[in-house]
Amino acid sequence: MSRQQLTFADELILLAHRESDGKQLIPNNVLNISLTAAELAELAALGRVELRGADLAVVD
């Protein structure tokens, strides 16, 4: 059986909600910004984007 690895955003969603009842533990605005950052981190980890000076550039 193969296990699919969770993305940073998937992990964040799991951490942002209580396991017992699914209640969201952080405000929506914080979660939205965090999810955006998680997606950018995922793209950077995959080598799809990189910082060029103060700019974010698409590599692939």
The pLDDT score that the predictor gives to residue 60 is 76
Contact, 57 vs 27, CB < 8 A?
no
Q: How far apart are CA 14 and CA 60, in angstroms?
A: 29
Residue 28 amino acid letter: N
2 or 59: which carries more pLDDT confidence?
Answer: 59
Task: Quote the distance between the C-alpha of residue 9 and its chain's center.
Answer: 3
What is the model's pTM? Answer: 0.77
pLDDT beyond 60 at 1: no
Write out pLDDT tens, residues 6-58: 999 999 999 999 999 999 999 999 999 999 999 999 999 999 999 999 999 99
5 or 60: which carries more pLDDT confidence?
Answer: 5
Contact, 33 vs 27, CB < 8 A?
no
Contact, 47 vs 60, CB < 8 A?
yes
